[in-house]
Structure 1
Amino acid sequence: MSASLALIALSAAAPSQALAGAWTLEKGKGLVIVTGFASRADKGFAAERKTQAVAGFRKVEIQGLAEYGISDRFTARVRTEVRDVRQEGGDPERRTGLGFSEIGGRYRFLQRGGFVASAEANLRLAEVQDLVDPVQAGLLEAEYEARLLGGYGFTLRERPSFANVELAYRARAGDRPDEIRVDTTLGIRATPRLLALAQVFSVVSAGSAESLAPYDYHKVQLSGVYDVTPRISVQLGGFTTVAGRNALREDGLLSALWFKF
């Protein structure tokens, strides 16, 4: 695996958990989601976007996310992750520990009929990896993210449904380019207890960095969320990287436990 692909792999998170999207929680209501991801990659996308063989990459990640309604318009959120990353090939390497931890909030500034618009800001903190920056290794690094979210609720063949689009700019520390992120979600209540989700997660590097060539990658995720009780739900699904440039072609599975309170 090239140094550039290794850097992207270490800094990239699993597909984010689609929750309320642009919608905010009611005051005093909360949601906790614990998600496990397992993914692998034996191929990557070259600079000309063609696939090529790369040294094996394996990742297991557990994400914890909690959201709480401070008011009907403002939802506070925290998220953290633990992951085990293995790089195989000529110079095998394994890293286990905390990834990025995140704290932020989402404010709903518009609601008209089925349409909702919100703004979200997040501060992300993590320990610098020696592969990313040997000089600063072990110190904390910060990333700042601003996100605009728009959602629309509607009925599709008598089934409650929604569409959600999010546009984010992530300012990153060190010698790494900033990122533009676009997340889209279509959700359909297939049965009274089952929510089907189709999602696309796109990341595009912004600016330049000496250690990384420009990159982008686009993941598709399909999953279902089943309501076991009014408070507890389980989610199962899978994701794959369908296109990219200077990035891994990653495939994976996910399972999650949702708890509403």
Structure 2
Amino acid sequence: MPVTADLLLRCRGITCVAALAMASTCGFGGGAFAGAFNEPAGQGLVVLRGTYDNGDRVFDTSGRLNGGTPYTKREASVYVQYGVTDWLQVILKPDLVSTSLGGAMGASYTGLGTSEAGAQIRLLMFGPAVLAVQGTFHLPATTRQRNAALIGNTSRDTDGRALLGIAFNLGSWPSFIDAGAGYRIRSAHAPDEVHMDLTLGTRPRSDTLLLFQSFTTLPVGQGVPWFPVSQYTNAGVSVVYDLNPRWSLQLSGFVTVEGRNALRERIVETSVWYRF
């Protein structure tokens, strides 16, 4: 099958798993981002996601693993992207979270998480590639820092990024690479961040999509007393199985592979996709 603009359109939504990122007590912000491939006008995607995230070890300032405060997070979210036109799509993601810190911290929180909303504009479409820009706003349920279980999740953020997607054939398998680079402006509750995300997707079968992903966060500035700067990379694999043209099921696993002043996360996600 030749790689054409039509193949790009067939890949709509397949990189949205990049939108299904996790926020930890150490402020993991892979971000709620759509991939570079916009939804066609009048079409959209809804993803219902459940996440289990835990960790009890931390990377120190030298990148070595040490014991840490046990952390657990459960999250239920809804992610929506909709094509207003062929070049403009809107994005929305509300969620519910339940987090807990063990040890001496002994804190917990259950309630609304950080809601996100924004838009994405396709700038160029050239052959098998597409270039887009995106802006999102992140509004936490609370900005109060009294609860240690919410450290890193009380900031009002503005995120801007550039996205590049390229479709190609991996042997006989339709595939794509999706790369994103962005800058997140955070409120006084946390330092600004640079985000670099990379996804390789491939279809070994017409009903099965494999995703190999990495999400890297780099700090900007000196941080604040209650939230020191940290950097980390989360990497993982997802399998998406298409039940039919509208419904798909997804299973994902992620782990923090390196970091500085960061929690080592172990994350399992299950999702249901609905295309409309």
**1: CA distance between counterparts of 2:155 and 2:56?**
29
**2: CA distance between counterparts of 1:97 and 1:246?**
27
SS at match of 1:9: coil
Which of 160, 163, 167 lines up with 1:153 in the alignment?
Answer: 167
TM-score by length of 2: 0.85
SS at match of 2:25: helix
Contact 1:18-1:185 at 8 Å conserved across structures: no
Which of 39, 43, 59 lines up with 1:25 in the alignment?
Answer: 39
CA RMSD of aligned residues (A): 2.0
Q: 1:14 to 1:180 in 2, by over 3 A?
A: closer
* Within-5 A mapping of 1:93-104: 93-104=107-118
Name the structure 1 match of 2:134: 120
* Within-5 A mapping of 1:110-259: 110-126=124-140, 127-131=142-146, 142-211=156-225, 212-259=227-274
**2: CA distance between counterparts of 1:38 and 1:260?**
24
SS at match of 2:94: strand
The code of the aligned residue for 2:251 comes to L
**2: CA distance between counterparts of 1:47 and 1:165?**
28
Name the structure 2 match of 1:80: 94
Q: Report Cα offsets for 1:86-136 as digits up to 9, x if no partner.
A: 100123111111121111111000111011000000111112132479xxx
Contact 2:233-2:257 at 8 Å conserved across structures: yes
Q: Report Cα offsets for 1:13-60 as digits up to 9, x if no partner.
A: 5755675x1011110001000111101101010011100001211111
Contact 1:179-1:205 at 8 Å conserved across structures: yes
Name the structure 1 match of 2:58: 44
Contact 1:155-1:161 at 8 Å conserved across structures: yes
Deviation at 1:257, TM superposition (A): 0.4
The code of the aligned residue for 1:96 comes to T
Contact 2:155-2:190 at 8 Å conserved across structures: no
Structure 1 window deviating more from structure 2 (81-90 vs 191-200): it is: 81-90
Q: Report Cα offsets for 1:137-178 as digits up to 9, x if no partner.
A: xxx852111010000000011110000000010100124210
Stretches of structure 2 lacking an aligned partner (at least 5 in a row): 1-22, 149-153
Q: 1:89 to 1:95 in 2, by over 3 A?
A: same
Deviation at 1:11, TM superposition (A): 6.4
How many aligned positions are there? 248
Contact 1:141-1:173 at 8 Å conserved across structures: yes
Contact 1:32-1:66 at 8 Å conserved across structures: yes
The code of the aligned residue for 2:76 comes to I
Between Structure 1 and Structure 2, the one with more strand by share is 1
Stretches of structure 1 lacking an aligned partner (at least 5 in a row): 1-7, 134-139
Contact 2:28-2:217 at 8 Å conserved across structures: no
Contact 1:176-1:208 at 8 Å conserved across structures: no
Which of 31, 35, 56 lines up with 2:49 in the alignment?
Answer: 35
